[in-house]
């Protein structure tokens, strides 16, 4: 009851995705996030207890038993200012320290390993499998109930990998590997967000995290490893022609085609993702058309140029092609 009221009150002060269950450290859906949420509530309870005791004592000596204060000021100062914090704070500190051992524990032995690299406002994703890496981008899929190790890096500047509902933050550095283990406990879609100011579109550097049943995840990873499907229908075929004649394949890979660029996100299965532009837009034909023609307006200083010269029909065909890359 009190949690709900408090979250509601906080939400009024700062409305936005940070306070929805999709991206909330207070609605944990992972082992590490649950420990951090517990830590928050225990610290809050400790702070409330200390606040009530201090103010109760202050009220007592200034309102209830006023005469005792001048005579026994020294005693009250010791009780209020020294004894109470000296009892409450070490208890909270000890509790916090007991949680530390479990944080940042490695992934499961023989478990799934994924590499995520922070790029200029998007996320390069590669799952490590015995058959080789499975390349993806801007979406992380994880099996529920399993411990996945995520190895983190960055291309140019420091980013920070943060999925509030699953775990704490971990910085991503150029030239150095950090890691975090994610153990989701609930299926669902969550939101990750870069948590380190990394440039003009830092706030637009987000991603979706899809936590799936283990079998569904396995099937998804197999599909993700495969090549792109052939464009179906006239519009999609015209869109594919636009894609190749505009040189999109110089920066993007669509496996199974001549497009093998590695500068931008892999688009082999881009139509099957829940968002485009690193959780900037939904995966719809309108959004694809908008994105290809107004890239820098939608995401300032993004490396991809805007293809403003595309006609409405060309942009729509291109969108149909990309949307079909499930």
Contacts with ligand CUA by CB under 6 A lie at 118, 159, 194, 196-198, 202, 205
Report in angstroms how near the CB of residue 208 gets to ligand CUA at its nearest: 16
Report in angstroms how near the CB of residue 118 gets to ligand CUA at its nearest: 5
Report in angstroms how near the CB of residue 265 gets to ligand CUA at its nearest: 14
Of the candidates 34, 175, 184, 33, the residue with the CA atom closest to the CA atom of residue 111: 184
**Structure tokens given for 256:** 């199974």
- Select 140 or 194, whichever has its Cβ closest to ligand CUA: 194
For 76-100, b/e burial (b = at least 16 CB within 10 A) is beeebeeebeeebeeebeeeeeeee
189/270 Cα distance (integer angstroms) = 17
Burial class (CB in 10 A: 0-12, 13-18, 19+), 2: exposed
Report in angstroms how near the CB of residue 191 gets to ligand CUA at its nearest: 14
- Select 76 or 173, whichever has its Cβ closest to ligand CUA: 173
- Select 167 or 278, whichever has its Cβ closest to ligand CUA: 278
Report in angstroms how near the CB of residue 82 gets to ligand CUA at its nearest: 43
- Select 123 or 291, whichever has its Cβ closest to ligand CUA: 123
Report in angstroms how near the CB of residue 266 gets to ligand CUA at its nearest: 19
How does DSSP classify residue 139?
E
For 190-206, give the secondary structure using H, E and C: EEEECCCCCCCCHHHCE
- Select 302 or 322, whichever has its Cβ closest to ligand CUA: 302
Q: Phi first, then psi: what are they for 272, rounded to 5°?
A: -90, 0
- Select 204 or 240, whichever has its Cβ closest to ligand CUA: 204
Residue 24: strand, helix, or coil: coil
- Select 195 or 212, whichever has its Cβ closest to ligand CUA: 195
- Select 85 or 174, whichever has its Cβ closest to ligand CUA: 174
Give the pairing of strands 188-193 and 275-276: unpaired
Burial class (CB in 10 A: 0-12, 13-18, 19+), 306: middle
Report in angstroms how near the CB of residue 263 gets to ligand CUA at its nearest: 17
Angle formed by the axes of helices 84-100 and 31-59, to 10°? 180
- Judge contact between 315 and 285, C-beta under 8 A: no
- Judge contact between 54 and 191, C-beta under 8 A: no
Residue 180: strand, helix, or coil: strand
Q: Which residues share a beta bridge with 268?
A: none
Report in angstroms how near the CB of residue 14 gets to ligand CUA at its nearest: 19
- Select 196 or 314, whichever has its Cβ closest to ligand CUA: 196
Report in angstroms how near the CB of residue 205 gets to ligand CUA at its nearest: 4
């Amino acid at each position: 009851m009190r949690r709900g009221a408090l979250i509601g009150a906080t939400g009024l002060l700062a409305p936005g995705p940070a306070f929805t269950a999709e991206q909330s450290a207070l609605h944990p859906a992972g082992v590490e996030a649950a420990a951090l949420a517990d830590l928050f509530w225990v610290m809050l309870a400790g702070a409330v207890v200390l606040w009530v005791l201090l103010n109760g004592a202050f009220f007592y000596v200034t309102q209830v038993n006023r005469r005792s204060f001048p005579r026994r000021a020294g005693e009250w100062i010791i009780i209020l200012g020294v004894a109470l914090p000296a009892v409450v704070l070490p208890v909270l500190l000890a509790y916090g320290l007991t949680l530390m051992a479990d944080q940042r524990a490695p992934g499961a032995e023989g478990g799934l390993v994924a590499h995520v690299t922070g790029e200029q406002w998007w996320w390069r994703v590669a799952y490590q499998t015995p058959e080789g890496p499975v390349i993806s981008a801007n979406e992380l899929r994880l099996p529920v109930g399993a411990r996945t190790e995520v190895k983190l890096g960055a291309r140019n500047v420091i980013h920070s990998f943060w999925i509030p509902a699953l775990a704490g933050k971990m910085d991503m550095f150029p030239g150095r590997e950090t890691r975090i283990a994610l153990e989701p406990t609930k299926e669902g879609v969550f939101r990750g967000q870069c948590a380190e100011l990394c440039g003009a579109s830092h706030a637009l550097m987000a991603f979706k995290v899809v936590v799936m049943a283990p079998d569904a995840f396995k099937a998804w990873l197999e599909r993700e490893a495969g090549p792109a499907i052939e464009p179906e229908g006239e519009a999609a075929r015209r869109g594919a022609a636009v894609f190749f004649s505009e040189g999109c394949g110089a920066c993007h890979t669509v496996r199974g085609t001549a497009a093998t660029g590695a500068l931008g996100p892999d688009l082999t299965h881009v139509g099957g993702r829940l968002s485009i532009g690193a959780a900037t837009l939904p995966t719809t034909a309108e959004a694809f058309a908008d994105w290809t023609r107004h890239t820098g307006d939608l995401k300032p200083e993004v490396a991809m140029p805007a293809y403003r010269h595309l006609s409405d029909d060309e942009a729509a065909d291109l969108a149909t092609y990309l949307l079909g890359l499930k």
